[in-house]
Amino acid sequence: MVKLKRLGVVLRPKDGPNGKFAKFNAGMVAENDTVHMLYRWGEKEEPRTDYSKIYHDAPYAQSFVSYARLSLDGKLVYDSDKPVIYPTTPLETRGCEDARVVPFEGSYYIFYCAYDGRKARMGVASTRDFEHYCKLGIIEVFAWDKDHYIFPERINGKIAFVHRVEPNIQIDYFDSFADLLNPKSWDNYEEKVESSTVLRAAFEWEGFKIGGSVPPIKTDQGWLFLYHGVDSNRIYHLGAALLDLKDPFVVRARLPYPILSPEEDYEVNGHYQGCVFPQGAYVHNGELYVSYGAADVNVAIAKVNLDELIDELNRHPVRS
């Protein structure tokens, strides 16, 4: 078995795990010798409630996305501690949450959840320098939809868009961002969602639902696809699969066990009891570094040797 090695908490709120604030669920991307991180900053509502037992609710009065920088060995260098993507429309009144970052065709695209307290929608923004940000639009479908991002390069000339209509993971293809953001592209999506589904729960530890976590990472063996699985007790785990390079709907391999589960105190105790929620990754010196939200309070880092993970995946091929 292959498991991620924990490097510990890299970002934490100043008032501690039982306080009012949270810094968690961070996307990240490496550029030269810098790791750009976009994390979720949350302010908790009172009175405190055990939100781990409440489905489709959250303990935050409002969330926004903030910026930090890490070194390539996963150490915090800078934390802006201020909003860079924040609510500006009625569809975001409760927050801009859980940003993933993908380098694509000369820009960094940011995929965040727009939440108004009633429904999760898919927000898209961009930046070139992590100083200036531009919101591109919000996508709405018939149901809650989040955990979205794109592949870092076109697949057969198309933008491949990953998202999650519960309880499964979908991929849809678009010619351009204009098409992706066009409401007409999503007309009658309830009739298409099954044919767009790429991954369904297959094991007990992901039996309640699954969702995309880290934007796909290209390897010689296929697209490394890290996703989260939620079990019947609403505990979050990290799973791994390998998708075909030319046709990501073909799942080449999939691990039957999670490579990260809540075990440490900072993962088990917090605003959400028992949650590891990965969102970002980069490769440095052959090691895959993964950022994840720990118990909806902190950002933690873990790593694994990339070749070892791919070799282990190849030991668990998916038979067609």
Strand order in the sheet with 169-174: 146-150, 159-164, 169-174, 197-199
* Cβ pair 274, 268 in contact under 8 A: yes
By the 10 Å C-beta count (0-12 exposed, 13-18 middle, 19+ buried), 319 is classed as exposed
Q: List CB contacts of 91: < 8 A, sequence separation 6 or more.
A: 114, 116, 121, 138, 140
By the 10 Å C-beta count (0-12 exposed, 13-18 middle, 19+ buried), 307 is classed as middle
* Cβ pair 303, 5 in contact under 8 A: yes
* Cβ pair 36, 130 in contact under 8 A: yes
Residue numbers in the chain where pLDDT is lower than 70: 16-18, 45-61, 320
> What letters, b where the CB count within 10 A reaches 16 and e where it falls short, cover 127-166?
beebeebebebbbbbeebbbbbbbbbeebeeebbbbbbbb
Q: Calculate the alpha carbon distances from 226 to 71, 106, 273 in Å.
A: 22, 24, 22
DSSP symbols for 119-164: -EEEEEEEESSSSSEEEEEEE--SS--EEEEE-SS-BTTBEEEEEE
Regarding the domain delimited by 5-314, which CATH topology (the fold level of the hierarchy) does it fall under? Answer: Tachylectin-2; Chain A (2.115.10)
For residue 131, give the amino acid letter: E
The pLDDT score that the predictor gives to residue 259 is 98
The pLDDT score that the predictor gives to residue 45 is 65
* Cβ pair 84, 92 in contact under 8 A: no
The pLDDT score that the predictor gives to residue 181 is 98
Cα 128 to chain centroid, rounded: 20
By the 10 Å C-beta count (0-12 exposed, 13-18 middle, 19+ buried), 318 is classed as middle
The pLDDT score that the predictor gives to residue 216 is 98
80 Ramachandran zone, left/alpha/beta (phi>0; psi -120 to 50) = alpha
The pLDDT score that the predictor gives to residue 54 is 33
pTM of structure: 0.94
Token pair 């390079």 in the structure block, residue: 245
Three-state DSSP class for residue 96: strand
Does the bond joining 47 to the residue before it have cis omega, within 30 degrees of 0? yes
Q: Give phi and psi for 269, each to the nearest 5.
A: -115, 125
The pLDDT score that the predictor gives to residue 297 is 93
The pLDDT score that the predictor gives to residue 46 is 54
The pLDDT score that the predictor gives to residue 56 is 38
* Cβ pair 149, 102 in contact under 8 A: yes
DSSP symbols for 301-316: EEEEEHHHHHHHHHTS
d(C-alpha 300, C-alpha 199), whole Å? 26
81 Ramachandran zone, left/alpha/beta (phi>0; psi -120 to 50) = left
In the chain, where are the structural domains located? Answer: 5-314
